Structure 1
Amino acid sequence: MKKYILLFFSIFIGIFSNAQEEVKELGIRLGDYKYPYPVEFFNVNAQQKTYEMAYMYVKPENTNGKTVMLLHGKNFNGAYWETTIDALTENGFSVLVPDQIGFGKSSKPEYFQYTFQQLALNTKKLIDSLEIEKLDVLGHSMGGMLATRFTLMYPEITNKLILVNPIGLEDWKLKIPYQSVNDWYQQELKKDYEAIKSYQKESYYAGDWNEDYAEWAKLLAGWTLNDNYPLIAWNAALTYDMVLTQPVVYEFDNIEVPTLLIIGTRDRTALGKNLVSEEVRATMGLYDKLGEETAEKIPDAKLVEINNVGHLPHIEAFDRFINPLLKFLN
C-alpha cells in the first residue's frame, strides 16, 4: 500500500513540476518575448503623459498599394497575427499591427482612463505618423470593438471593416451585476496558467487543447510570475471596465463602409459569465446567433460563418479564415 501511495505522489509531483516548467516569467513589456517581425515604438502624448506604443509595420516585396491594420483582442497582442501578416504580405498588402497602450510591448500606465475613443485616437496618430492615407481595418475580440469605434470616428480613412469574432455584440451590463474596477482587479490577481487555460478552453475553443492555443495562454500566465504583475492586473481591470461600460452594439447601424463579419460559431465568449446564474449564462456569448443579428444591423455587411470553430478562427482554422478575408479585401 505504501508503495502505491509513494507512486501516486511521484506522479502528482511530476505533473505539477511539468505544469510549472511550461510557463516562464515574462517582463511586463515582453522584452524577453520575440515578435515575428521587427517592433518599433511610437510616442503617444495622452492624458498629460507620454507613452510608447509598440507596432509592427510590414511591407510586401510587391505592393498592391493597400494597407490592412490588425487590431488585437483583450487577452492578446500583435504577435498572434503572424500567419495573417504572412498571407497578407504575400498578396501585396502592407500590414500595420499595433499593440494598444496597456498591452503587449506597449507602455503599462499606472493611471489611465481607458476609452475606445482614446485608443482609436492613439491609433490614428500612429497612422498619420506613418503617412498612411487610407486602410482596411480588421479587429478581433476586443479589437473588434475598437475597430468599430475607429471606423465610426474615422470613416474617411477606413476603406473596409472586418470583424473577427468581436466581443461587444451584446450589452453584457444588462445581464451581469455591476463590478467595480477593484472587483475586476482582485479577480485578475488570482489568475495563473491553469485558470487562464480553463477559461480559454471553455469559452474560446470548447474542444481539445493544443500547443497552438497554449502559446497564448502561457504569455498571459508568464506575466503572473512577474513581481510587477499587479500593474498588469490593474490595466486589465481598467480595460474590463472599458469593455463593459462602453458598448458599441447600439451603433452598428451607423457604420458607413463595407463590412465583413467572420464568425466562428462555436465561440461562447462573454465577460462576466461567472457572475450570473446558469440560466442567464446559457443566453450569453451565442455567436451562432450573434453573427446573424449583427449582420442585419450593419447596412453593408457580409457574414461568413465558420462552423465548429471557436473564438480565434485565425489560429484554429486559418485556411477557412484567410480565404474569405482575401476575397473581401480584393
Structure 2
Amino acid sequence: MSRFAVALFAALLAVAPTMAPAADTAREPYGVNLEGFPYPYPVSLLPLVNDGEQLRMAYMDVAPAQPNGRTVLLLHGRNFPSSYWAPVIKTLTGAGFRVVVPDQVGFGKSSKPTGELHFDTLARNTIALLDHLGIGKAEVVAHSMGGMLAVRIARAYPDRVTHLVLTAPIGLEDYRMYVPPIASETIMANEDRLTAEGYRKQLETNYALKLPTDQVTPFIDARFNLKDSADYSRWLKSFVSSYQMIYREPVVHEIPLLTQPTLFIMGADDHNAPGRPNAPEALRAKMGQNAELAKTLASQMRDARAEVIANAGHLVFLDAPAKYDALLLEFLGK
C-alpha cells in the first residue's frame, strides 16, 4: 500500500468506529442525533432557541499543546458529520491553534429542528457559539456547504473573521439558473428510497472520491445506521430542508464582496453541483466547473487566490492531505 493510501486509511480510522458494513442491520441503530456514533474528541452541547424551538448545538473544542493564541472554526459539509475533520484538527492543533468544530443545527449530533433551515440562522447560531466560548475573532475553514455558511458569516459578521479558507465549497454558482424548484415531498421520497449501495455510488460519482471503497463505508454508515431510528422521519425532513436552503439561498453574488483574505482550495476533479439530476439535460454539463469558478471569483475579490490540487475531488483534504495541510498552514501563517 502506498504512503498516500496509508495516510487516508489512518485518517478515516480516526473519524469512525470499527464497524460492520453499512448493509448489516443487526446492530442497534444510531439515534437521530448520531447517538452511538463516536467522535474523535469530546462533544459538548450549547442550548439555543431557533424560531421559538429549544435546540442544542453540538461542538468539539480542541486545545493545542502549545497555544499560539489563535482559534480556527471548522465548518462541515452537508453529507458528513463534523468528525471527518479529525486529520485537519490534528494538523491545526499541532500548529498551536485552538480548534472549534460545531455540528450545525440539523446535522450530526445537533438537534434536528422541526422548522426550515436557513443560512442566516446557522450563522447566528455559530456566532452564539463563539460568544459562549469567549472567542472574539476566528480563522474560518469551511468545506462544501460549510463554505456557503462561511460566506454568510463573513459578510454578516466581518469583524469576527480574520482569514477565510473555502475548501471545495459549493455555491460558487446560482443553482436556480439551471435547476427548477423541486417540492420537498419529492426530494424526501427520493432520499427515502435510496439504498446504502446507491448512496455509495452517489458519493463516488458526485464527489469524485479517491478513497478506497471500504474507506467510504463510515460515511455510508453514519447515514444509514440511523434509518431505523424512531426519529428517522425528523432527520429526513431536516436533511431535505438543507437542500432547499442551498437552492433558495445562493451566496455566489456575495463572494466578490468579501473583505477578508480568502483562499480557495479546490480539487481538480471536483464537479459537484447540487440538484444537477433535476436540471434539463442540456444544462447539466455546464454545472459544477468548480475549480474554474473559484479562480474567476478570486480574481474579482480584494484579497483572494485559488489553489487547485490535481488528482483530488470534493473531499480534497482527505484526497491530498499533505498538499492541503501545506496550503492551509502557509495561508494562516501570513
TM-score (norm 1): 0.91
Q: Are 1:195 and 2:209 matched, yes or no?
A: no
- Check the 8 A contact 2:106/2:117 in 1, yes or no: no
Q: Which residue among 159, 163, 171 is the counterpart of 1:160?
A: 163
Q: Which residue among 213, 216, 221 is the counterpart of 1:218?
A: 221
**1:103-122 matched pairs, under 5 angstroms:** 103-109=107-113, 111-122=114-125
CA distance in 2, matches of 1:211, 1:80: 15
Q: Which residue among 91, 96, 117 is the counterpart of 2:95?
A: 91
Q: Are 1:26 and 2:41 matched, yes or no?
A: no
CA distance in 1, matches of 2:128, 2:253: 26
- Check the 8 A contact 2:295/2:305 in 1, yes or no: no
CA distance in 1, matches of 2:199, 2:311: 22
Equivalent residue letter for 1:92? G
Q: Which residue among 178, 182, 199 is the counterpart of 2:181?
A: 178
CA distance in 2, matches of 1:231, 1:198: 25
* Aligned counterpart, 1:48: 52
Structure 2 unmatched runs, 5+: 1-19
Q: What is the Cα deviation at residue 18 of structure 1?
A: 6.5
CA distance in 1, matches of 2:182, 2:102: 29
Deviation string 1:42-99 (CA, Å, 9 cap, x unpaired) is 0012211220100000011110000000000011121000010011001100000000
Q: Are 1:243 and 2:246 matched, yes or no?
A: yes
Deviation string 1:94-115 (CA, Å, 9 cap, x unpaired) is 0000000110000112x22311
* Aligned counterpart, 2:62: 58
CA distance in 2, matches of 1:184, 1:231: 14
- Check the 8 A contact 1:205/1:310 in 2, yes or no: yes
* Aligned counterpart, 1:319: 322
Q: Which residue among 186, 199, 208 is the counterpart of 1:205?
A: 208
CA distance in 2, matches of 1:278, 1:26: 38
CA distance in 1, matches of 2:297, 2:25: 39
Task: Give secondary structure in 2 for the equivalent of 1:163.
Answer: strand
CA distance in 2, matches of 1:59, 1:20: 37
Deviation string 1:153-177 (CA, Å, 9 cap, x unpaired) is 1110110011000010011111112
Equivalent residue letter for 2:66? N
- The structure with the largest alpha-carbon Rg is 1
CA distance in 2, matches of 1:93, 1:22: 40
Deviates more, 1:30-39 or 1:268-277: 268-277
Q: What is the Cα deviation at residue 23 of structure 1?
A: 9.2
Q: Which residue among 89, 97, 102 is the counterpart of 2:106?
A: 102
Equivalent residue letter for 1:99? D
- Check the 8 A contact 2:64/2:94 in 1, yes or no: yes
CA distance in 2, matches of 1:21, 1:317: 31
Task: Give secondary structure in 1 for the equivalent of 2:158.
Answer: coil
Equivalent residue letter for 1:117? D
Aligned residues: 313
Deviates more, 1:93-102 or 1:185-194: 185-194
Q: Which residue among 124, 127, 152 is the counterpart of 2:127?
A: 124
Q: What is the Cα deviation at residue 194 of structure 1?
A: 1.1
* Aligned counterpart, 2:298: 295
Equivalent residue letter for 2:246? V
